[in-house]
Amino acid sequence: MKKWKGKLGIILSILAVLGIYYYVALPAINIHSAGFWMCLLFLIAVITVILAVRKYKKDYRNITIPITPIELIKSMKILKIGIALFVAVVVVYAVGSILSSPVINASKYQELLTVEEGDFAKDVEQVDFNTIPLLDKDSAELLGNRKMGSMVDMVSQFEVGSDYTQINYKGTPVRVTPLVYASGIKWLTNHSDGIPAYIMIDMATQDTECVKLSEGMKYSKSEYFNHNIYRHLRFHYPTYIFDDQIFFEIDDEGTPYWVCPVKKYNIGLFGGQTIGNVVICNAITGECTDYPIEEVPSWIDKVYSAELLTELYNYHGTLKHGFFNSILSQKDCLQATNGYNYIALNDDVWVYTGVTSVSGDQSNVGFVLMNQRTMETKFYKVEGAIEDSAMTSAEGQVQNLGYVAAFPLLLNISDEPTYFMALKDSGGLVKKYAMVNVQKYQWVAIGDTVGECEQAYLDLLKTNGIGNGKSEISSDLYETVKGRITAIAPVVTDGNTHYYVALEKEEKLFDLDMNDTSLLNIIRYQTGDEITFIYYEGDSDTNEVKAIEE
């Protein structure tokens, strides 16, 4: 009876230790998971130690002759077996890692990502600035924190999370992040009701909203115990290897979800990671739905992280002629530049990054757009300066102000590849915007607003014989006014003639630059006439007229 009690005690001890390890570490029960192999090593070590201690207490505790640890190991069969098993597992893991590596499988890694050639002028159309994210993540975090500071009913209990996911929401680029519990004590007093809201920031207009929910989110990264999103997923899908990043998104009705990509290994035990399927977890109810990668709902924007897509492109660009060529001669080796940004196209979010040679020169051979939902990738051959050079060039125009450039986007403006970026002050706030020509990065235009920046860039292109200086892409930035002229007068400023017009019931004057020949018709008008202006509303005391509507 005692013998059976002893064995039962050993089994229960092992199960207890393993259960605690599993609950805390959450390894996937899958041979492709590194965590599974660590768990296996832990299990072998625990069993060996428990059995060895029991054996020692039984057979060696009363030995009066001194015995060294080495002699003890040699004399105890269980320790020999345990150490042998431990070493064997380590060897299998190491061999599996080597056989899965790009060193041996360069061609397979190179083919993980299919890259199509794209037509810049056709695919990257002259876009609406309403679809362009004007803020980066750091600026979004500042706005989110400021918004949270104004929510007096929640600020003492919750904080803004750092999971800012950029998505398309009803045709608009936004970043969303859930609130998180401010501390463990705050969780204790609030977790029964859940997290009451999330932050949504319009990346084009900078409007920030705290969206309150009718029912709180019960499943999140800041939860403890079984409602922690990682533990909730593991208990539902014990064999799934979830990606290191899971994403917070909202559907078209504003319902919050966690988008949880599941890793797929295509090369050996641990190599060639892509995404095989996606688990969607309702952040309020915890209900989970599993989708194959081909059937992911279209409202979901982020399945492949920007880091994973960039890594896959680097495999594609550097391993064309094998692994050792990528290290030694580096013939035809290309890689992504050291940054990326997001752009909305066709109701999807695409990662943009430049492509340069591995030699570290200061020029791009092109750029890629990579779809975060489908992994579709297109390469565009556009030679010019790398993003860092363009950022430096833009910063040089405002060096007296000390502004710093955010990582740029590549836009099509008058069929010219153009870097567009925000310029931020030391506090991280966006103060100005810059456009830099990719091929001639000394061509830089700066503006206090997007409209002013665009017009300055178009004027710069016109000065250099490109385009007509008229905006074709951002009519949404302009307004139309119809009114009766109450005063009209020409004024010469710095050798240039401007007409200033006052309209009935309008506080600001309207400024017409006579260098724009399309505005010369103003000389036909006089006080009392009705006129229609298409104009840009600037921050000064005048509105800049872009056209006279006949």
What is the rounded average pLDDT of the residues 2-31? 82
Instruction: Give the integer Cα–Cα distance in Å for 93 and 397.
Output: 54
pLDDT of residue 473: 43
What is the rounded average pLDDT of the residues 211-235? 96
Residue that wins the pLDDT comparison between 13 and 161: 161
Q: Is the pLDDT of residue 471 over 80?
A: no
pLDDT of residue 468: 61
Model's pTM, two decimal places? 0.82
Q: How would you label 68-88 residue by residue, b for 16+ Cβ within 10 Å and e otherwise?
A: eeeeeeeebebbeebeebeee
Q: Is the pLDDT of residue 483 over 80?
A: yes
pLDDT of residue 200: 96
- CATH architecture assigned to 478-549: Beta Barrel (2.40)
Residue 6 binned pLDDT confidence (cut-offs 50, 70, 90): low
Share of the chain above pLDDT 70, in %: 90
Q: How would you label 520-534 residue by residue, b for 16+ Cβ within 10 Å and e otherwise?
A: eebeeeeeeeebebe
What is the rounded average pLDDT of the residues 404-420? 88
Residue that wins the pLDDT comparison between 420 and 55: 420
pLDDT of residue 136: 83
Report pLDDT digits (tens) over 184-199.
999 999 999 999 999 9
Phi/psi-derived region of residue 404, left when phi > 0, alpha when psi is between -120 and 50, beta in every other case: beta
Secondary structure of 520-532 in HEC code, one letter for each residue: HHHHHCCCCCEEE
Q: Is the pLDDT of residue 314 over 80?
A: yes
Q: Is the pLDDT of residue 484 over 90?
A: yes
Residue carrying the six token digits 């040679």: 357
Residue that wins the pLDDT comparison between 67 and 482: 482
Q: Is the pLDDT of residue 74 over 80?
A: no
Residue carrying the six token digits 């078209």: 252
pLDDT of residue 40: 94
Report pLDDT digits (tens) over 76-106.
777 888 889 999 999 999 999 999 999 999 9
Q: What is the DSSP letter of 475?
A: G
**Domain range list for the chain:** 2-99, 134-303, 385-463, 478-549
Residue whose C-alpha is closest to residue 315's, from 358, 276, 275: 358
Report pLDDT digits (tens) over 222-232.
999 999 999 99
Angle at 231 between CA 229 and CA 233, to 5 degrees: 70
Which amino acid is present at 98?
I
Angle at 437 between CA 434 and CA 438, to 5 degrees: 120
What is the rounded average pLDDT of the residues 462-475? 64
Report pLDDT digits (tens) over 138-197.
888 888 988 888 787 787 899 998 889 999 998 888 999 999 999 999 999 999 999 999
Report pLDDT digits (tens) over 113-141.
999 998 877 777 666 666 678 788 888 88
CB atoms within 10 A of CB 370: 26
Residues sharing a CB contact under 8 Å with residue 116, sequence separation 6 or more, in sequence order: 376, 377, 378, 379
